[in-house]
A and B are shown apart, each in its own frame.
Chain A
Amino acid sequence: MKFIAFAAATLTATTAFAQTDPADWDAVVAAADGQTVYWNAWGGSTTTNDFIAWVGERVAEDYGVTLEHVKLSDTADAVSRVLAERSAGQDSDGAIDMIWINGANFAAMKDAELLFGPFAEQLPNWSIVDVEGKSVQTDFTVPTEGLESPWAMAQVVFIHDTADLPEPLADMEAIAEWAAANPGRFTFPQPPDFLGSTFLKQALLDLTDDATPLYAPVEEADYEAVTAPLWSFLEELTPNLWRQGRAYPQTGPRQLQLIADNEVDLAISFSPGEASTAIANFELPDTARTFVLENGTIGNASFVAIPYNSSSTEGAMIVANFLLSAEAQARALDPEVLGYGTVLDVAALPEAERALFDNIDLGIATLTPEELGTALAEPHPSWMTRIEADWIERYGVAE
Chain B
Amino acid sequence: MSARRGLRFVPALTLLALVGPVAAGLIGTLLPAFGYLPAAGLTDWGLAAFAELGAWPGLPASVRLSLTTGLIATALSLAIVTLALAGWQGTPAFRWIERSLSPLLSVPHAAAAFGIAFLIAPSGWVVRLFSPWATGWERPPDLLILQDPAGISLIVGLVAKEVPFLLLMSLAALGQTEASRSLLAARTLGYGRVAGWLVTVFPQVYRQIRLPVFVVLVFSMSVVDVAIILGPNTPNTLSVQIVRWMGDPDLALRLRAAAAAMLQLALVFGGLLAWRIGEWAFARIARRILVRGRRGCMLDRTRGLSAGAILLIAVALFAGIAGLALWSFAGFWSYPNALPDMLILRSWMRHGPELLGPLGSTALIAGLAAGIALVLTIGCLEAEHRHGVRMRRAGAFLLYLPLLIPQTAFLPGLQTLMLSAGLQSGLWPVVLAHVVFVLPYVFLSLADPFRAWDTRLDIAARSMGTSADGVLWRVRLPMLLAPLLTALAVGLAVSVGQYLPTLLVGGGRVQTLTTEAVALASGGDRRAIGIYGLAQTLAALLPFAAAVLVPRLVWRNRRGMRHDG
Q: Which residues of A contact B (CB under 8 A)?
A: 3, 7, 10, 38, 40, 42-46, 49-50, 53, 68, 70-74, 76-81, 83-90, 93, 95-96, 104-105, 107-108, 112, 183-184, 190, 192, 242-244, 246-251, 253-254, 256-257, 260-263, 282-283, 285-286, 385, 392-393, 395-399
Contacts and interface: CB of A to CB of B under 8 A. Distances in A.
Contacts of B415: 84
Contacts of A399: 61, 149, 234
A234 to B, nearest CB: 14
Contacts of A45: 523, 525
B92 interface: no
A80 B246 contact: yes
B520 A44 contact: yes
4 closest cross-chain pairs (CB), A and B: A44-B523, A95-B507, A397-B58, A87-B39
A179 B160 CA distance: 37
Nearest to B425: A95
B416 A72 contact: no
Given A70-B508, A104-B249, A397-B58, A263 B122 contact: yes
B371 interface: no
Contact of A93 (B228, B350, B424): B424
A79 B249 CA distance: 7
A71 B58 contact: no
Interface stretch (B163-171, B180-188, B509-517): B509-517
B412 A108 contact: no
A372 B39 CA distance: 43
A187 B508 CA distance: 32
Interface in B508-560: 508-509, 511, 515-516, 518-528
Contact of A77 (B121, B344, B508): B508
Contacts of B524: 44, 249-251, 253-254, 256-257
Contacts of A108: 249-251
A262 B140 contact: yes
Interface residues of B, number: 69
Contact of A40 (B234, B424, B508): B508
Nearest to B523: A44
B250 A84 contact: no
8 contacts: A7-B422, A44-B521, A72-B519, A74-B247, A85-B419, A89-B420, A192-B248, A247-B232
B519 A73 contact: yes
Given A96-B507, A108-B250, A46 B123 contact: no
B70 to A, nearest CB: 19
A183 B350 CA distance: 38
A43 B424 contact: no
A396 B122 CA distance: 22
A244 B142 CA distance: 9
Interface stretch (B281-289, B331-339, B402-410): B331-339
Contacts of A251: 522-524
A84 B412 CA distance: 8
B555 to A, nearest CB: 44
Given A46-B525, A385-B250, A71 B519 contact: yes
Nearest to B62: A397
Given A83-B251, A242-B142, A261-B140, A396 B511 contact: no
Contact of B233 (A49, A81, A89, A248): A248
Interface in B202-248: 228, 232-235, 244, 246-248
Contact of B511 (A70, A76, A395): A70
A46 B520 contact: yes
A46 B351 contact: yes
B464 interface: no
A399 B139 CA distance: 26
A68 B509 contact: yes
A36 B394 CA distance: 47
A26 to B, nearest CB: 29
Given A38-B508, A50-B350, A396-B58, A77 B147 contact: no
B269 to A, nearest CB: 25
B416 A88 contact: yes
Contacts of B136: none
B522 A250 contact: yes
B359 interface: no
A360 to B, nearest CB: 21
Contact of A80 (B247, B332, B515, B523): B247
Interface in B145-165: 146-149
Given A257-B524, A282-B331, 10 more contacts: A44-B520, A76-B248, A81-B508, A83-B40, A84-B415, A104-B249, A108-B251, A247-B232, A282-B333, A396-B58
Contacts of A3: 422
A77 B503 contact: yes
B144 A247 contact: yes
A253 B354 CA distance: 21
Query: In this complex, which of A3, A40, A248, A398 has the most chain B Cβ atoms within 10 angstroms of its Cβ?
Result: A398
A46 B522 CA distance: 11
B15 to A, nearest CB: 22
A242 B122 CA distance: 12
A261 B335 contact: yes
Nearest to A50: B350
B465 interface: no
A49 B357 CA distance: 15
A72 B142 contact: no
B123 A262 contact: yes
A133 B346 CA distance: 38
A178 B161 CA distance: 42
A84 B419 contact: yes
B388 interface: no
B293 interface: no
A96 B39 CA distance: 18
Contact of B344 (A86, A95, A282, A392): A282
A246 B144 contact: yes
A396 B508 contact: no
A114 to B, nearest CB: 10
B370 interface: no
A260 B331 CA distance: 11
A262 B335 CA distance: 6
Interface in B37-78: 38-40, 56-58, 61-62
A268 B333 CA distance: 21
Contact of A393 (B57, B140, B518): B57
Given A95-B508, A261-B334, A396-B235, A73 B416 contact: no
A246 B509 contact: no
B330 interface: yes
A76 B416 contact: no
From B235, B330, B333, B522, name the one whose CB has the most chain A CB atoms within 10 angstroms: B522
Interface in B388-428: 412, 415-416, 419-420, 422, 424-425
A386 to B, nearest CB: 11
A263 B140 contact: yes
A42 B247 CA distance: 13
Nearest to B61: A399
A71 B516 contact: yes
Looking at B139, B149, B511, B518, which has the most chain A CB atoms within 10 Å of its CB? B139
A68 to B, nearest CB: 7
B247 A76 contact: yes
B155 to A, nearest CB: 16
A70 B522 contact: no
A243 B142 contact: yes
A26 B234 CA distance: 54
A95 B39 contact: no
A184 B139 CA distance: 11
Nearest to A193: B522
Nearest to A95: B507
Contacts of A78: 508
Contacts of B525: 44-46, 253, 257, 283
A247 B233 contact: yes
Contacts of B521: 44, 73
Contacts of B354: 49, 53
B297 to A, nearest CB: 45
A391 to B, nearest CB: 11
